[in-house]
Amino acid sequence: MLLDALLLQIGYNATLVTLGSAALGLAAGATGTFLFLRKRSLVADAVSHATLPGLALAFMLMVALGGDGRNLAGLMAGSALSAWIGLLSVSWLTRRTRLAEDAAIGAVLSVFFGFGIVLLTVVQTLSAGRQAGLESFLLGSTAGMLFSDAILIAAGGLLVLASALALRRPLLMVAFDPGFAETQGIDIHRMDLAIMTLVMAITVVGLKVVGLILIVALLIIPAATARFWSNRADRVVLLAGLFGGLSGYIGAAISATAPGLPTGPIIVLTGFAVFTASLLLAPGRGVLSAALRHRSHQRQVHLRQGLLALAQDQPVYEALTRRLLRRNGLQRADGVPTSEGHSRAAAALRDETRWQALRSSAHLSELSARDDGLTLILDVLTPDQIAELDRRIATAPGTA
């Protein structure tokens, strides 16, 4: 059943929802990366909650004009206007008052969302509003999605994605180094408004699929997931879009196989599953790879300390160190070093002696900061510098 859903063989409506969700996830993941890198993820929460009053007012206006209050384009337009007012409110409070940005966001978020809940309550008292189902926009609802709705969501998402990619260079510059960006003639405030506008747009586009509360997760989770896999900003943007698109596609497909499960939360949980897998398995920043690197480093330290002990005819007390020496063919079971053990022990002691001489060198001592207990001095100094150290060691008092 799930395979049929993934292959878009489960029905017309499920196919619409799956493709629309994939386009939304792709756009949300890529767009949210700029917000994530700018360390302004909370803005997405304020934007999403600020859409609710506009949603309710748009419904009431369309009904008053004799139209269909549930027209998705009209509801999106009202939500966009309300969200934009919320964004301007946050910007004005941050720039014109002594409120910090997080306080301004919290104030706007709570006031707009509270006002929206009041309006939804009013809508439910109207004869035209009892069956509106506007509360479904809080968590999303894809039941009965029309072809026009799917096209609107997909087109809106792809338009936001294209805009984000077109602005990626100045947005990334502002995210990483606002001071340098300003010296290059980039208006920081305008770029911040641009990314907020893109977030607002993707929030409005995603109302039907994941709702105004869960859209925040679709903006941030793919970006956080991509960060585990790359240190390059452009690649993080692409990976975030990929992870967002996969989350939307797979989550919608899973929801299609179990009609009782809401699509929006399933998409978010799918994104979280990808995030968890990346947290554990990513080769660069994952928990497992970090644990393996730590274990490898620990073993290298034990092996080096064991070699230094062998070189100075000292007993090796650590059981792990003895096992590593024997496993690497450097020491026999009776504790006697092998020929290779003697050779590597002498090399380790020579390297340690050179590091000690480097620390007391008048003009090379700053390079001793590179000594982490494992780095070979051959990787730090030139052959001429090493030869100079060896001459100093040979002429040092007490040297045989």
pLDDT at 153: 80
pLDDT, tens digit, 9 for 90 and up, residues 253-312:
888 887 777 788 888 999 999 999 999 999 888 999 989 988 988 999 899 999 999 998
* Same-domain status, 135 and 42: yes
pLDDT at 273: 95
Range of the domain at 336: 288-395
- The span from the CA of 163 to the CA of 196, in Å, is 12
pLDDT at 139: 67
Write out residues in the chain with pLDDT < 70, as ranges. Answer: 5, 127-136, 139-145, 397-400
Domain finish residue from 232, 249, 283:
283
* Same-domain status, 19 and 143: yes
Q: How far is CA 83 from CA 47, 89, 112, in A?
A: 6, 10, 9
pTM: 0.78
* Same-domain status, 384 and 297: yes
Domain finish residue from 249, 283, 317:
283
pLDDT at 399: 54
Burial of 25: CB neighbours in 10 Å, binned 0-12, 13-18, 19+? buried
pLDDT at 128: 56
Q: Is residue 400 part of a domain?
A: no
* Same-domain status, 174 and 316: no
- The span from the CA of 24 to the CA of 218, in Å, is 9
Domain finish residue from 250, 283, 316:
283
What's the CATH code of the domain at 229?
Answer: 1.10.3470.10
* Same-domain status, 12 and 137: yes
- The span from the CA of 216 to the CA of 327, in Å, is 52
Task: For residue 14, give the amino acid letter.
Answer: A
* Same-domain status, 304 and 202: no
* Same-domain status, 270 and 352: no
- The span from the CA of 352 to the CA of 373, in Å, is 9
* Same-domain status, 31 and 117: yes
- The span from the CA of 272 to the CA of 50, in Å, is 25
- The span from the CA of 254 to the CA of 141, in Å, is 15
Q: Is residue 84 part of a domain?
A: yes
